[in-house]
Amino acid sequence: MSERTVGSTGDLAALAAAVLQPGFVGTTPPPWVCRWLGEGLGSVVLFARNVVDHEQVATLTANLRAERPDVIVAIDEEAGDVTRIESARGSSRPGNFALGAVDDPALTEEVARDLGVELAAVGVTLDYAPDADVNSNPANPVIGVRSFGADPDLVARHTAAWVRGLQAGGVAACAKHFPGHGDTRVDSHHDLPRIGGDRARLDAVELAPFRAAVAAGVQAVMTGHLLVPALDPELPATLSTRILSGLLREELGFGGVVVTDAVEMRAVSDRYGFAGAAVRALAAGADAICVGGERATEADARELRDAIVAAVVSGELPEERLAEAAKRVGQLAAWSVAARAQRVAGPPWRGDSPVGLAAARRAVRVSGDPGLLPLAGPAHVVEFAPPRNIAIGEETPWGIAGPLTRLAPGTTTARYAADALPADPAAGPAGRPLVLVVRDLHRHDWMRDAVDRALTARPDAVVVELGVPELVTGAVHLATHGATAAAARAAAELLAGAR
């Protein structure tokens, strides 16, 4: 061991475990997680693979708290296209983009509070939301409807409202992806995005929602794996002292927990290594290391813990910095314990959110000839499926065929992907109204070509856009501003004349 004065290996291991937020596989806590909670682990994160239903999640979190009463239980639940708590059926609330389309901050706060009450009831204490990115680039492959919109002032006011609402429901909010993931064509799960623009542009656009989140009292901020040359020309934000300590802490005045985006994502792990990225993030000013979306074993967690301890012993990571990070995690745990004690329990969860459905209905926008609605009878629905996005989750169902069939029995459906397109996308039972369902039509050439062919054959077809409505086409066009279950139901009601 170095001659530097450092804590014992056991003490350092406990500090290192305190700053990890690992995921795990299974619907009950595995033995290694229970053991680690007794050895210093301060947090865990739940994914869709950990969720069966609300009763099961409540039991899971109770078992975690039997090992450590103040454990932070995090989840990546945006209540939109990104849903974990309702991944089996799709979110019963609209996402950020739909709320931004309505532009009623009081409604946004109400929806977020509704979610907070639900999450708190099953034992979740930290939510990796809201997404505070300004979606200024329509070609963005990973943000899109996860953002409140393209206008920074709109995004700022709804970010603040979402933070207030969620935390009023008893769950800590986490604004992401600092300093802003909106203006990119690259998905940081796969490569390192570069955010251009000078500092004045960043202040006016990307940073505005984060300032609003800090002012609203957000408890946590998640870093983005983003290269922002105007702030740091060399290091991604997650690993940048200039961005985390200088900008976020000193300039923006944030005093809560800085959480990394998943440290196994290729934007950082390909360049700095899995464990190397975690150590560098802590040294730069991060307080908690999110891991386990893809690397979710005890061996993965141990690799990070041991690398953190070794970095302290070698002097690469100051022990004071690690202790500071662990202290902040402990402060968030204390906040969560107090919030749980003070929360007002809501009604039992019945599998739906009335406020969410009401908000989704308000978000639908109709363009073209409204005289074509409602449909004259049972329709033939053609859904065009874009490639799945790892951030959204491959398990979450989407589309309007299901809810429309319930409202209009006899509805038929077909779903096509880029590699399985028929010669005639408009083909279906004769005499039926045709509904073409798309997601981000403007981003997919194959989808646009198929829709153009279908509209040539059937110019009376209705187009339903479940993504960003950058391209409006068809005799009548419905934009739901998201592909949640609530958005699909709202669109189906209009098509069927059910409201």
Q: At 206, give phi and psi (nearest 5°).
A: -60, -40
User: Which among 205, 323, 324 has a CA at the least distance from the CA of 256?
Assistant: 324
Q: Where are the beta strands (DSSP E) in 284-427?
A: 289-291, 365-368, 380-384, 412-416
Q: Which residues contact 300 (CB under 8 A, 6 or more apart)?
A: 22, 264, 274, 291, 292
With b meaning 16 or more CB within 10 Å and e meaning fewer, what string describes 66-80? eebeebbbbbbbbbb
List Cα–Cα distances, 297 to 25, 275, 444, in angstroms.
8, 14, 36
Looking up tokens 């953002």 gives: 147
Active site residue 189: yes
Compute the distance between CA of residue 496 and CA of residue 479 in angstroms, rounded to an integer.
16
Q: What span, in angstroms and rounded, lies between the C-alpha atoms of 153 and 300? A: 40
Judged by DSSP in three states, 33 sits in helix
What angle, 0 to 180 degrees and rounded to 10, lies between the N-to-C axes of helices 9-18 and 319-342? Answer: 50
Q: 477 catalytic, yes or no?
A: no
Exposure string over 443-477, b if 16+ CB within 10 A, otherwise e:
bbeebbebbebbbeebeebbbbbbbbbebebbbbb
Residues 6 or more apart from 110 whose CB is under 8 A from it?
A: 165, 355, 359
DSSP single-letter state for residue 111: H
CA dist 29 and 103 (Å) reads 40
**Burial (Cβ within 10 Å: 0-12, 13-18, ≥19) of residue 62:** exposed
Q: Choose the catalytic residue: 131, 133, 187, 261.
A: 261
Q: Which residues touch 284 (CB under 8 Å, ≥6 apart)? A: 235, 238, 239, 240, 241, 243, 244, 245
- The rounded distance, in Å, linking the Cα atoms of 254 and 43 is 21
**Which one from 177, 189, 380, 481 is the annotated catalytic residue?**
189
Q: Give the Cα separation of 367 and 234 in Å (integer).
A: 46
Q: How far is CA 362 from CA 53, 97, 178, 429, in A?
A: 28, 12, 30, 32
Active site residues: 189, 261
